[in-house]
Structures are given as structure tokens and as C-alpha cells.
Amino acid sequence: METPLGGAEFAPAQTYLNTSACGLLPRRTVDAVTALAEENAAGRPDGAGSFEVVAAARERFARLAGVHPDRVALGGSVTVHVALIAASLPPGAEVLFVEGDFSSVITPFTVRGDLKTRFVPLEDLAGAVRPGTALVAFSAAQSADGRVADLAAVRAAAAAHGARTLLDASQSAGWLPLDAGAYHYTVAGGYKYLLCPRGASFLTVSEEAQESLAPVHAGWVAGEDPWTSTYGPVERLAASARRYDEPQSFLAYYGAERSLALLEEIGIEAIHAHGTALAARFRAGLADLGHEPAAPGAAASVIVAVPGLGGRQAELARAGVVVGARAGNLRVGFHLYNTAADVDRALDALSP
């Protein structure tokens, strides 16, 4: 029997192929969260949690993202990170989006009402950047169908026209290598392919972009010395991207530190090779069944979406196969805890 990359860290009760909605928590993560909760319940001195663990989670994400920890801010949701960036744009600034991209990377800009917004197909994104485009905001991998953007082309087009870039890595961080330093901003929800508890999210900000990004939700944790910033206005904000921190949920970040450690130990390159191989096996099996994935150009993705089969989600669940349903598609996402047996079980459940 094939052994998943995560080994004994995972023991799902069924075939789980819905990581694009929510990743499975490793055993070590569950243990860390449980231990802190028990400390809190018992009223022990360490029950509130430690900022040292939070700092370790920041450092682990920074290594996975290829940046210095000073470039990483922590929070609770991608939407809040994106809203921070949206608030920094001047009225009339043009923001370029992908048609049908996830709403969290779009709505914080559109609700302002005083920005110019354009939407183009994913394959046209790089060519649509033009003089006057202030920001290109897009996902590395599309939530609805798994298509991966031409990252290099978008970066080159943005640089040629002086536009900044905001990359949402929520559907890619954890399986697709991330070079966060190549973008002005990146955001990532922790609870998908990063396998963190919900309530952990990450923002990276380049040094150049930080100059014009106002820390509009700054609190005491954003101070250069948080413990002397607890009363009255914070007199000195952190010089690093930590000035954009939201107060962290210790339970979420105790778990995040352990989950990110596991990803580091295995390596994103190994996870990428494993997941894309399983996705290729699934695509081949779909072809044998007469089904075609939504986006043939998504062959480099671990996410596979099949048009018209979203209605079979409940049927597959009854067969012990957990999948997603998005935009009318049946959507599966392969990760380190999946095996070829999971692929075959899903194909069997889809067979006539």
C-alpha cells in the first residue's frame, strides 16, 4: 500500500479530496492546539499562549515563501489583508482583476466605489496591463477550476508599466513553490494547503510597497515594542511588516507553527511532484470515463475541476469520497496525504 507523504500525521476517515476548501490538520497540530487549550482551561500560567511560538510560525512561513521574516505580517483572514491594501490606493487608481477570481481578492477594492476596476480572462491578464494600471490583483491558482496563472508574464508586464502586484496564494501555497519577494504583496489563507487551523493567514509586503501602505488597523501588537505599546497611542510602530499584524489567535498560530514545520520537513518541491502526479492520474481516468476537466490548461495544478458534475458531490460523499462543488464544477484537490488509491476510489465512484 502506498504511504502518503505525511505518514502517520494523517488518518482521514474517508477519501478526502477537498483541500481547496479546507486542509486536514496534522496530528502534531491537533496536539499543539489541544495542549494549549488544556493549559488555558486549567488556568496555568502559559495557558494564554506565547508570542515566541507566533514568531516561530512567522519564521517558518517566511522560509516557505522565500522572504525574510521582517517582510511577513500575520492575521486572521485574507480579506482583512486585502482590505488593508485596498485602503492604501488613491481615488481613481486602476486595479486589474481576473474574471471569476475569488471574491476576497476583489471585493475590498470594489466596495470603495472610487477606484477604476477592470476584469479580464486569466489568459489575457499579462496583456491587459497598461500604462496607468496601479495594481494587478490575482490568484496564483484559480479557486473554481485550478488554473495556474502565468506568473512570470504577469510580473514582467506589471514591471514594464510600473504597476504593483498582489498575489493571492491561498490555493497554491503549500504545494506550489512561492517566491513572495517577486511581488509587492502576497496573501495566503493558512487553512487550505498550508494545513493550518482556520484563523491563521499571512501577508508579505516588499520594502518598497511598505512606504505607501498605511497600517490602518494597527494595535499594540504592531508596536516596535508591543509591551510598552499597550496604553494610549502606539508611539513607535514596528519598522518591519509586523506593523500590519492583527492580534493573533494563539490557538490558530500554535497549530500553524506545527503544520508549517511539517511542510518544511517534507519540502514543497516533493509535495508539488506528488500532488501533480495524482492530479495527472485523475485526469487520465476522467478521460477514460468520457469527462473533460474544466481547464485543460490547468494540467500543472493539483486542483482538477469537472464541468457539470458538481451535483454529484453528495453522491460521492455517500460513497466515502469528499470533494468540492464550485461554479457548477466537481472540484478535487490533491495534497500530501492523498495516494493513488484515493484517485482510483474517486474514479470508481464516478463510473457509470
Q: Show pLDDT as tens, one digit a residue, over the chain (352 residues).
A: 577 788 899 999 999 999 999 999 999 999 999 999 999 999 988 778 999 999 999 999 999 999 999 999 999 999 999 999 999 999 999 999 999 999 999 999 999 999 999 999 999 999 999 999 999 999 999 999 999 999 999 999 999 999 999 999 999 999 999 999 999 999 999 999 999 999 999 999 999 999 999 999 999 999 999 989 999 999 999 999 999 999 999 999 999 999 999 999 999 999 999 999 999 999 999 999 999 888 766 678 999 999 988 889 999 999 999 999 988 889 999 999 999 999 999 999 999 8
List of residues 6+ apart from 213 with CB closer than 8 A: 84, 85, 88, 205, 244
Superfamily of domain 7-26+267-350: Aspartate Aminotransferase, domain 1 (3.90.1150.10)
Q: Cα torsion at 279, 284, 285, 289 (round to 10°)?
A: 130
- Note whether 303 and 141 are within 8 A (CB): yes
Q: Give the pLDDT score at 200.
A: 98
* Rounded distance between C-alpha atoms, residue 326 and residue 146, angstroms: 11
Please answer whether residues 224 and 24 qualify as being in contact, where contact means their C-beta atoms are separated by less than 8 angstroms: no
- Shortest CA distance to 236 belongs to which of 247, 222, 248, 246? 222
Beta pairing, strands 329-333 & 324-326: antiparallel
pLDDT of residue 280: 95
pLDDT given for residue 296 in this prediction: 65
pTM beyond cutoff 0.75: yes
CATH class of 42-265: alpha beta
Place of cell 504577469: 154
104: Cβ contacts below 8 Å, ≥ 6 apart: 77, 78, 79, 82, 168, 170
Q: Give the model's pLDDT for residue 117.
A: 98
| Distances, alpha carbon 118 to alpha carbons 41, 93, 142, 160, 190, in Å | 50, 11, 17, 18, 28
Looking at the chain, which residues constitute the CATH 3.90.1150.10 domain(s)? 7-26+267-350
Q: Decide: residue 55, CB within 10 A, 0-12 exposed, 13-18 middle, 19+ buried.
A: middle
Q: Which three cell numbers stand for residue 233?
A: 497611542
Phi, psi for 292 (deg, rounded to 5): -120, 130
87 vs 295: CA distance, rounded Å: 34
What pLDDT does 266 receive?
A: 97
